[in-house]
Amino acid sequence: MKKTKESASEMSIHSKILLDTITDIVYFKDREGRNLAVNKAFEEFVGLKKAEIIGKTDEQLFPPDLAERCNFSDREVFKKGRALDFEEECIGKDGKRRFFNTIKSPVYDRHRNIIGLVGVSRNITEYRQTLEDLQLFKSIINQTNDAVAIVDPETSRFIYVNDKLCSNLGYTRKEMFNMRVTDIEAILPDNFSWDKHVSEVREKGYMLLEGLHKRKDGTTFPVWVNVKFMNIMENDYMVAIARDITEWKKMQDEMQRLNQGLEQRVIERTEQLETVNIQLKEEFEKHKKAEEELERMRNIESIGTLAGGIAHDFNNLLTAILGNIYLSKLYLSKKNLPSDDEVFKKLTQSEDICMQAKELTGMLITFARGGEPVKELITMSEMLKETVSLVIPSNLKIICEFDIPAHLYPVKADKLQVKQVVRSIVANAVEAMPNGGVIKVRAENLTVSQSENLPLKDGRYLKVSISDNGVGIPVENLLKVFDPYFSTKGRGAQKGMGLGLSICHSIIKRHEGLITVDSKVGVGTTFHFYLPTYEKQN
């Protein structure tokens, strides 16, 4: 008998040691909710010694809302008479928010009557945070304009694909997970080896490729692919970002066609100059002007393509930075820091700066692509008066005079883009008159024909002229005012980067219009822009 008691006592000690070494919170309650046994993790969670816990209910140990949630789950276990799984949320003694996965099981006496319950609670706060971070990461990746895929280097199978890749190729995500990279490649070299390709990417770290992807319906489209080899937690991955360059290819072909057409016109014009001596001087000047315009357009398109590509990639980087700032602010907010916390303010400032940078990339993309206009009917008289009034600072002695007739031709254009043109021109006028002056805004209906000698299609146009009596533009600079990054002012955040008028030129061109400038030093400057009018189809 003595030996049996000693064995039971030793077993009790071992059980206590075992419970106290378990990191999960373990406790036993009776039917009245009194804690009869708890382990070390329970003591640490409530911040009390075991002697202060035994015999007390949850109402005596926890805040009212947590105690009520615990009592509710207890009642559910007693009611259903079986083990139940709960997810619980609480605020710890350090003031931090925590999540627990709790399993509560009923305890029976020898007559099968429930006399209490045993609970085991595991802290899953980090797991929950990881799930939230993963979901946010997936949301960001799915909102990008580029297709993203993660590939197993050994099998070339897709491990992860974003929504853009699925929509580009016409497959569901489930279908993509049963496919290999080679299934979507429209053209592969005869000697292509996946293993050799992986080894090359692994050696270089990343590769930039141009290829042709094949959709589910058999059609193809050109892509640029950025492939990077990564090793995470001793696992190898290939991460690919693919960009559809169909529009870029079309623009390249169109530019080549236009260049060939312009070159042909130059040849024809040259032949005419050689045969008609009486018009030599006039035709020579036209030829020279056409050459200069061609060279300027080539420079603008070339720089625009480069700027658009860089701006697009930079915009993706900014998106990632903003995502990390958001996560950091979210993490700090969970710490219940005061709103004037220095770190929180610095993050907010960084977020604002990133948003300003996104605005700049937006300007670059508009310059590169012209910004596809979203056209609508515009009441130009109201728009001109409203936009000009908002740009002119109230602290400067600048008067604005409008000469706008009552019945203007209707215009169908992108209102925001046309406003941007007006704002840029007026802003230049304001800078040209630091001591004040007069800005004149005039609108008129115009019918263009070949006799007008304007590079516009024949038809009806609305002409808007914005004049100032400022310092004017030297003759040598007049042909450069629409060139990207050309500016007579200093560079920088306050003075600008010389993109405003280049973007105006791009916007008006995209609307099939024309923008010109007249200026005289010491007298002033006038910008004219022409927009084709809207004629309702019968």
Contact 36, 54 (CB under 8 A): yes
More confident residue, 156 or 361: 156
Give residue-wise pLDDT tens across range 10-52.
545 656 676 777 788 899 999 998 999 998 888 888 888 988 8
| Residue 5, pLDDT score | 45
Whether the pLDDT of residue 468 is over 90: the answer is yes
7 half-sphere exposure, CB direction, 13 A CA radius: 4
| Residue 280, pLDDT score | 56
Q: Which one of 3.30.465.10, 3.40.50.2300, 2.30.30.230, 3.30.565.10 gives the CATH number of domain 376-532?
A: 3.30.565.10
Over residues 132-148, mean pLDDT: 78
- Quote the Cα angle for 255-259-263, to 5°: 175
Domain ranges of the chain: 2-123, 129-244, 255-369, 376-532
Over residues 136-164, mean pLDDT: 85
Contacts of 507 (CB under 8 A, 6+ apart): 366, 370, 371, 373, 414, 417, 418, 420, 421
Over residues 395-402, mean pLDDT: 87
Whether the pLDDT of residue 466 is over 60: the answer is yes
Please give the order of strands across the beta sheet that includes 235-244.
Answer: 158-161, 147-151, 235-244, 220-232, 206-214
More confident residue, 13 or 421: 421
Tell me how far apart the 2 most distant CA atoms of the chain are, in Å: 135
Residue in 460, 451, 443 with CA at minimum distance from that of residue 512: 460
Residue appearing with tokens 């007298």: 523
Whether the pLDDT of residue 491 is over 50: the answer is no
Angle between helices 280-333 and 125-142 (to 10 degrees): 170
Q: Which one of 3.30.450.20, 3.30.1520.10, 3.40.50.10490, 3.60.15.10 gives the CATH number of domain 129-244?
A: 3.30.450.20
Of 3-17, 56-70, 74-88, 361-375, which range is least confident? 3-17
Beta-carbon count within 10 A of 492 CB: 8
| Residue 440, pLDDT score | 95
Over residues 341-360, mean pLDDT: 74
Q: Do domains 2-123 and 376-532 have the same CATH topology?
A: no
Over residues 416-434, mean pLDDT: 89
Predicted TM-score (pTM) of the model is 0.39
* Element spanning 263, H or E: helix 246-275
Whether the pLDDT of residue 7 is over 70: the answer is no
Q: Which tokens is 532 given? A: 């084709």
Q: What share of the chain is helix, strand, coil (3-state, %, to 5)?
A: 50, 25, 25
Where does residue 481 rank: exposed (0-12), middle (13-18), buried (19+ CB within 10 A)?
Answer: buried
Beta-carbon count within 10 A of 93 CB: 10
Whether the pLDDT of residue 291 is over 90: the answer is no
- Quote the Cα angle for 65-54-91, to 5°: 30
Over residues 267-281, mean pLDDT: 70
In the 8-state DSSP scheme, what is residue 32?
A: T
Q: Are strands 84-91 and 97-108 parallel, antiparallel or unpaired?
A: antiparallel
Over residues 190-201, mean pLDDT: 89
Residue in 161, 265, 164, 169 with CA at minimum distance from that of residue 212: 169
pLDDT, averaged across the chain: 81
Taking only Cα atoms into account, the Rg of the chain, rounded to an integer number of angstroms, comes to: 36
More confident residue, 451 or 444: 444
Q: Please state, in angstroms and rounded to a whole number, the distance separating the CA atoms of residues 31 and 111.
A: 15
Confidence label for 496 from pLDDT (cuts 50, 70 and 90): very low
Beta-carbon count within 10 A of 178 CB: 10
Whether the pLDDT of residue 184 is over 60: the answer is yes
Q: Please state, in angstroms and rounded to a whole number, the distance separating the CA atoms of residues 531 and 461.
A: 5
Angle between helices 280-333 and 246-275 (to 10 degrees): 160
Where does residue 519 rank: exposed (0-12), middle (13-18), buried (19+ CB within 10 A)?
Answer: buried
| Residue 135, pLDDT score | 77
Residue in 322, 380, 323 with CA at minimum distance from that of residue 351: 322
Residue in 439, 430, 447 with CA at minimum distance from that of residue 384: 439
In the 8-state DSSP scheme, what is residue 96?
A: -
CATH number of 2-123: 3.30.450.20
| Residue 494, pLDDT score | 35
Residue in 368, 322, 346, 334 with CA at minimum distance from that of residue 502: 368
